[in-house]
Amino acid sequence: MTTTEAGITPRPRGIATRAKILSVAERLFTERGFEGTSIRDISEELGMTKSSLYHHFPNKDAILLALFGERGQELDELLAWVREQPKDDKLLQRAALRWIDQATPERLDRLRFARANQAELRRLSDGPETIQNGYGRLIDEILGAEASDEDRLYAQLAFDTISATLRLGDLQHSPADTVLAAARRATTALTRH
Protein backbone atom coordinates (compact mmCIF):
# COMPACT_ATOMS: atom_id res chain seq x y z
CA MET A 1 0.00 0.00 0.00
CA THR A 2 1.30 3.49 -0.78
CA THR A 3 1.41 6.59 1.35
CA THR A 4 0.07 9.90 0.05
CA GLU A 5 1.97 13.21 0.20
CA ALA A 6 0.04 14.02 3.37
CA GLY A 7 1.43 10.86 4.97
CA ILE A 8 -1.92 9.09 5.00
CA THR A 9 -2.09 5.49 3.83
CA PRO A 10 -5.17 5.18 1.59
CA ARG A 11 -7.57 2.35 2.31
CA PRO A 12 -7.92 -0.33 -0.39
CA ARG A 13 -11.50 0.76 -1.12
CA GLY A 14 -10.34 4.36 -1.59
CA ILE A 15 -7.60 3.21 -3.96
CA ALA A 16 -10.12 1.22 -6.01
CA THR A 17 -12.51 4.19 -6.16
CA ARG A 18 -9.70 6.51 -7.25
CA ALA A 19 -8.73 4.04 -10.00
CA LYS A 20 -12.35 3.89 -11.22
CA ILE A 21 -12.54 7.69 -11.29
CA LEU A 22 -9.34 7.89 -13.33
CA SER A 23 -10.55 5.22 -15.76
CA VAL A 24 -13.91 6.88 -16.38
CA ALA A 25 -12.40 10.37 -16.58
CA GLU A 26 -9.80 9.20 -19.07
CA ARG A 27 -12.46 7.66 -21.31
CA LEU A 28 -14.70 10.74 -21.14
CA PHE A 29 -11.79 13.15 -21.70
CA THR A 30 -10.80 11.09 -24.74
CA GLU A 31 -14.34 10.94 -26.15
CA ARG A 32 -15.52 14.47 -25.33
CA GLY A 33 -12.31 16.38 -24.64
CA PHE A 34 -11.26 17.90 -21.34
CA GLU A 35 -13.39 21.03 -21.78
CA GLY A 36 -16.37 18.97 -22.92
CA THR A 37 -16.35 16.85 -19.77
CA SER A 38 -17.55 18.13 -16.41
CA ILE A 39 -17.04 16.79 -12.91
CA ARG A 40 -20.78 16.14 -12.97
CA ASP A 41 -20.40 13.97 -16.12
CA ILE A 42 -17.72 11.91 -14.41
CA SER A 43 -19.64 11.52 -11.15
CA GLU A 44 -22.88 10.56 -12.96
CA GLU A 45 -21.05 7.97 -15.05
CA LEU A 46 -19.68 6.48 -11.83
CA GLY A 47 -23.00 6.65 -9.99
CA MET A 48 -21.52 8.80 -7.22
CA THR A 49 -22.14 12.30 -5.97
CA LYS A 50 -19.91 15.19 -6.98
CA SER A 51 -18.92 15.66 -3.34
CA SER A 52 -17.73 12.04 -3.20
CA LEU A 53 -15.63 12.61 -6.29
CA TYR A 54 -14.23 15.83 -4.78
CA HIS A 55 -13.12 13.76 -1.79
CA HIS A 56 -10.63 12.05 -4.14
CA PHE A 57 -9.80 14.93 -6.51
CA PRO A 58 -10.29 18.65 -5.85
CA ASN A 59 -10.85 19.49 -9.55
CA LYS A 60 -10.51 18.28 -13.13
CA ASP A 61 -6.90 19.49 -13.35
CA ALA A 62 -5.98 17.17 -10.47
CA ILE A 63 -7.53 14.25 -12.36
CA LEU A 64 -5.58 15.16 -15.50
CA LEU A 65 -2.32 15.43 -13.55
CA ALA A 66 -2.96 12.07 -11.87
CA LEU A 67 -3.48 10.44 -15.25
CA PHE A 68 -0.17 11.77 -16.52
CA GLY A 69 1.63 11.01 -13.28
CA GLU A 70 1.04 7.33 -14.04
CA ARG A 71 2.70 7.70 -17.44
CA GLY A 72 5.72 9.38 -15.86
CA GLN A 73 5.95 6.47 -13.42
CA GLU A 74 6.00 4.00 -16.33
CA LEU A 75 8.94 5.90 -17.84
CA ASP A 76 10.75 5.91 -14.50
CA GLU A 77 10.34 2.12 -14.26
CA LEU A 78 11.77 1.68 -17.77
CA LEU A 79 14.67 3.98 -16.89
CA ALA A 80 15.45 1.86 -13.82
CA TRP A 81 15.42 -1.26 -16.02
CA VAL A 82 17.74 0.38 -18.59
CA ARG A 83 20.22 1.28 -15.84
CA GLU A 84 20.51 -2.42 -14.96
CA GLN A 85 21.21 -3.51 -18.56
CA PRO A 86 24.58 -3.96 -20.28
CA LYS A 87 25.46 -0.86 -22.30
CA ASP A 88 25.79 -2.26 -25.81
CA ASP A 89 24.63 -1.35 -29.31
CA LYS A 90 21.34 -3.28 -28.85
CA LEU A 91 20.22 -1.44 -25.70
CA LEU A 92 18.05 1.04 -27.62
CA GLN A 93 16.27 -1.80 -29.40
CA ARG A 94 15.77 -3.80 -26.19
CA ALA A 95 14.43 -0.76 -24.31
CA ALA A 96 12.08 0.35 -27.09
CA LEU A 97 10.74 -3.18 -27.56
CA ARG A 98 10.26 -3.52 -23.80
CA TRP A 99 8.27 -0.25 -23.87
CA ILE A 100 6.04 -1.73 -26.58
CA ASP A 101 5.76 -5.14 -24.91
CA GLN A 102 4.58 -3.50 -21.68
CA ALA A 103 1.85 -1.64 -23.54
CA THR A 104 -1.67 -2.61 -22.66
CA PRO A 105 -4.97 -1.57 -24.23
CA GLU A 106 -5.24 0.88 -21.30
CA ARG A 107 -1.89 2.44 -22.16
CA LEU A 108 -3.00 2.84 -25.76
CA ASP A 109 -6.12 4.55 -24.43
CA ARG A 110 -3.82 6.88 -22.49
CA LEU A 111 -2.01 7.79 -25.72
CA ARG A 112 -5.33 8.43 -27.47
CA PHE A 113 -6.33 10.53 -24.49
CA ALA A 114 -3.10 12.56 -24.70
CA ARG A 115 -3.66 13.22 -28.40
CA ALA A 116 -7.24 14.34 -27.77
CA ASN A 117 -6.23 16.71 -24.95
CA GLN A 118 -2.94 18.26 -26.13
CA ALA A 119 -3.95 21.85 -25.34
CA GLU A 120 -4.92 21.05 -21.76
CA LEU A 121 -1.76 19.05 -21.19
CA ARG A 122 0.38 21.94 -22.44
CA ARG A 123 -1.49 24.29 -20.10
CA LEU A 124 -0.54 22.23 -17.06
CA SER A 125 3.10 22.54 -16.09
CA ASP A 126 3.45 18.89 -15.04
CA GLY A 127 2.03 17.43 -18.25
CA PRO A 128 4.02 16.80 -21.42
CA GLU A 129 7.10 18.65 -20.18
CA THR A 130 7.57 16.07 -17.44
CA ILE A 131 6.99 13.23 -19.89
CA GLN A 132 9.42 14.80 -22.36
CA ASN A 133 12.02 15.14 -19.58
CA GLY A 134 11.49 11.44 -18.82
CA TYR A 135 12.20 10.53 -22.43
CA GLY A 136 15.27 12.80 -22.34
CA ARG A 137 16.64 11.05 -19.24
CA LEU A 138 15.93 7.66 -20.81
CA ILE A 139 17.72 8.56 -24.04
CA ASP A 140 20.66 10.05 -22.10
CA GLU A 141 20.99 6.78 -20.21
CA ILE A 142 20.90 4.71 -23.40
CA LEU A 143 23.07 6.88 -25.67
CA GLY A 144 25.01 9.03 -23.23
CA ALA A 145 24.50 12.74 -22.61
CA GLU A 146 27.03 13.60 -25.34
CA ALA A 147 24.98 11.93 -28.12
CA SER A 148 24.42 13.97 -31.27
CA ASP A 149 21.05 15.55 -32.04
CA GLU A 150 20.66 13.11 -34.93
CA ASP A 151 21.20 10.11 -32.64
CA ARG A 152 18.78 11.54 -30.07
CA LEU A 153 16.08 12.03 -32.72
CA TYR A 154 16.67 8.50 -33.98
CA ALA A 155 16.22 7.15 -30.45
CA GLN A 156 13.07 9.23 -29.96
CA LEU A 157 11.66 7.74 -33.17
CA ALA A 158 12.26 4.24 -31.79
CA PHE A 159 10.16 5.08 -28.73
CA ASP A 160 7.49 6.93 -30.72
CA THR A 161 6.48 4.02 -32.94
CA ILE A 162 3.46 3.26 -30.75
CA SER A 163 2.19 6.83 -31.04
CA ALA A 164 2.87 6.99 -34.78
CA THR A 165 1.20 3.63 -35.41
CA LEU A 166 -1.71 4.65 -33.22
CA ARG A 167 -2.21 7.86 -35.22
CA LEU A 168 -2.30 5.89 -38.46
CA GLY A 169 -4.28 3.01 -36.97
CA ASP A 170 -6.96 5.31 -35.61
CA LEU A 171 -7.91 6.05 -39.20
CA GLN A 172 -9.19 2.48 -39.40
CA HIS A 173 -9.90 2.13 -35.64
CA SER A 174 -7.33 -0.64 -35.43
CA PRO A 175 -7.47 -2.96 -32.41
CA ALA A 176 -4.70 -2.78 -29.80
CA ASP A 177 -2.97 -6.00 -30.88
CA THR A 178 -2.70 -4.73 -34.47
CA VAL A 179 -1.29 -1.36 -33.36
CA LEU A 180 1.26 -3.03 -31.08
CA ALA A 181 2.34 -5.59 -33.70
CA ALA A 182 2.91 -2.81 -36.25
CA ALA A 183 4.80 -0.71 -33.68
CA ARG A 184 7.00 -3.69 -32.82
CA ARG A 185 7.84 -4.29 -36.48
CA ALA A 186 8.61 -0.60 -37.03
CA THR A 187 10.84 -0.44 -33.95
CA THR A 188 12.70 -3.59 -34.94
CA ALA A 189 13.29 -2.21 -38.44
CA LEU A 190 14.37 1.20 -37.11
CA THR A 191 16.84 -0.21 -34.61
CA ARG A 192 18.35 -2.97 -36.75
CA HIS A 193 22.07 -2.45 -37.32
Tens of pLDDT along 130-168?
Answer: 666 778 889 999 999 899 999 999 999 998 888 888 777
79 part of a folded domain:
yes
Count of C-beta atoms within a 10 Å radius of residue 97: 18
2 part of a folded domain:
no
1 part of a folded domain:
no
Structural domain containing residue 177: 65-191
How long, in residues, is the chain?
193
CATH of the domain at 33: 1.10.10.60
> What are 73-117's pLDDT values in tens digits?
888 899 999 999 999 999 999 999 999 988 887 778 777 777 777
Q: Please tell me the total count of domains within the chain.
A: 2
> What are 162-182's pLDDT values in tens digits?
888 877 756 557 788 888 888
How many Å apart are CA 82 and CA 87, to the nearest integer? 9
Contact 95, 142 (CB under 8 A): yes
* 70 shares a domain with 53: no
168 part of a folded domain:
yes
Q: What pLDDT score does 21 carry? A: 96
Highest mean pLDDT: which range of 15-24, 40-49, 130-139:
40-49
* 50 shares a domain with 16: yes
**Four-point Cα dihedral 117, 170, 160, 65, nearest 10:** 20
